[in-house]
Structure 1
Amino acid sequence: MRPQNDIRFHRDPCLDGLEVSIVRESPHAFPNHTHDYFTIVAMEKGGCFGQGPRRSDAFVQPGQLALINPGQVHSGVPAQGVRPSYRNFYASADWMRTVAAETCGRDVGVPEFTRFVVASPEATRGLMALSHLLERDGDRLEKESCLIEAFTLLLARHGKAPARLARPGREHAAMRIVQEYLAARLDEKVSLEELADLVGLSRYHLLRVFKRSTGMTPHAFHTQLRIDHARGLVREGLPFAEVAAATGFVDQSHFTTTFRQYVGATPGQYAARKF
């Protein structure tokens, strides 16, 4: 019987700030979610709907890349009856800032991709070459060269420096307070009433403003933070039961189910890293 999800992760100590996952013929559908890092998806086979609350917003076809900024709400829903194959390249915001500075010749802050789906054959070839090198533990210089060439090309053609932010209003400040409050309580249950009281808004108003600000409900946002934290704990080698407790899940089974929903792999698959 065909496995439900064939996925492998590669984390190379020579490429700090980068993680790669290789997904083959997976039926897994990701809910709307965000990351605090950049994600570049190289579609090899099949196709996925990927951006925003409506499945029609964007479709990533074979040979195309999806360029996802930190904090950008997106999903990953295979086309009906299709089991797509793709490769994900996860890059930290700090690393991308360094690459952008090298590309521009000065520090321009954390960059931003301006398009969600692009066709960039040269960058795709570089990313695929990097992925194959990671699979066979290739030469460090060759890996670094593929990585830098692909990402600088993407930033040069599809990126921009961050715009000057407008002065936030009271609601923006309130949403920052709520996000920081949730981030500080990853192992706790938090109520909507508790959040509303924190910033002096009604529960309805808080829900509406938070979703308009982040594209997610407070619960979905909190769950995403907990899963992101859990990824780090799994990489550190903590027992899964301890990870579940540290991130506020009622038991290991609930943790495993939610982890797979957001990551596309079980904690065991994610921990079985290759260098």
Structure 2
Amino acid sequence: MQGVKLTGNAMSRRDTKNLTRFWNGRCSQGLSLMHADFQTQEFAPHRHEELVIAITEIGGSVIQSRGVVDNADTSALLVFNPGEPHATWMGASHHWRYRSLYLEQSALDDLSHALGTDRIPYFTCNWIADPELVDLLNALHLSLDGEHDPLLQRELMIRSFGGLFNRHGSGGLRVEPVPYDRVRVAKAIEYIRVRLAMPISLADLSNTLDLTQFQIVRLFKRTVGMTPHAYVLQLRLDAARRHLAAGSAIGEAAVAAGFYDQSSLTHRFKRAYGLTPLQFAKAART
């Protein structure tokens, strides 16, 4: 499909300094792509449910993840594991143009089967210097942005991700929180999910887990890498995406996901993903 330029709501002017296109990939269910051209964009701390890969075409930006700050540029690719918090800003760069791929669980399962592995590796580094992979992933993205050639697209998909997993994946050797922490945060997350469309407070979580509010904040930072507020916001963005993909109007999706109104959803959505709910909804329904 043809992408759409990043715009505000119907009453606002087009943002000519920050342009994006977002669409679904053809070679794997659960794969979506974005081509972004930014001059002023700043991404608030956020995370994606998908595995995210980004290749810089022009310029660069500053990436913060795991307490480490790196520069995104054309010499390397960026990889963010599903659920991994990160933030991005322009820094000293006046221009950042990049291509990104988002792989939902269905796309990862498809890759696992195609590559003959029973697990998707965890990536211990967000910044990976591998010129061959940069070229392969860029070729894959371009092929999915141009002429429809299923054989070429599938070949590039397998080659690029096979190389990424084999050369840079950890094999899933991930440091997990201690079991007791996992149990407590799972209880908190279940409480949040059930009440997502309603107001949620630290006091509510404190009473539910019999912990102080300070302990609740530390528990979330320690186990999921985000504050409770940031995590609730992300779950609401996830829910809004599902409602939009199912055909809900933006205002309806906002309320159902727990946002105050459509404007609040649009603001948060653009800060987290660099595109508007309308762009996402159009791509999801194509």
TM-score exceeds 0.5: yes
Deviation at 1:2, TM superposition (A): 6.5
Q: Would you say 1:88 and 2:104 are equivalent positions?
A: no
> Are the structure 2 counterparts of residues 120 and 254 from structure 1 closer, same or farther at C-alpha, using a change threshold of 3 Å?
same
1:243 corresponds to: 253
> Are the structure 2 counterparts of residues 94 and 82 from structure 1 closer, same or farther at C-alpha, using a change threshold of 3 Å?
same
With normalisation by structure 2, the TM-score equals: 0.86
Deviation at 1:173, TM superposition (A): 1.4
Any conservation in 1 of the 2:26–2:150 contact (CA below 8 Å)?
no
Distance 1:106 1:258 in 2: 37
Deviation at 1:230, TM superposition (A): 1.6
Distance 2:47 2:176 in 1: 22
5+ residue gaps, structure 1, are: none
Distance 2:43 2:72 in 1: 14
Q: Percent identical across equivalent pairs?
A: 31
Q: Which has the higher contact order (CA 8 A, sep 6+)?
A: 1
Distance 1:113 1:94 in 2: 19
With normalisation by structure 1, the TM-score equals: 0.89
1:240-274 deviations in Å (ceiling 9; x for gaps):
11111111111111111111111111112323439
Q: Which amino acid aligns with 1:143?
A: Q
Structure 2 counterparts to residues 60-79 of structure 1, below 5 A = 60-79=72-91
Distance 2:248 2:77 in 1: 34
1:21 corresponds to: 34
Distance 1:94 1:165 in 2: 24
Any conservation in 1 of the 2:247–2:281 contact (CA below 8 Å)?
yes
5+ residue gaps, structure 2, are: 1-13
Any conservation in 2 of the 1:96–1:111 contact (CA below 8 Å)?
no
Deviation at 1:66, TM superposition (A): 0.6
Off by >6 Å, runs of 4+ in structure 1:
164-167
Q: Would you say 1:234 and 2:244 are equivalent positions?
A: yes
Structure 2 counterparts to residues 193-272 of structure 1, below 5 A = 193-272=203-282
Deviation at 1:186, TM superposition (A): 2.5
Any conservation in 2 of the 1:8–1:273 contact (CA below 8 Å)?
no
> Are the structure 2 counterparts of residues 166 and 151 from structure 1 closer, same or farther at C-alpha, using a change threshold of 3 Å?
closer
Any conservation in 2 of the 1:5–1:265 contact (CA below 8 Å)?
no
Q: CA RMSD in A?
A: 2.3
Distance 1:223 1:93 in 2: 21
Deviation at 1:148, TM superposition (A): 1.4
Distance 1:101 1:134 in 2: 21
2:124 corresponds to: 114
Distance 1:271 1:27 in 2: 24
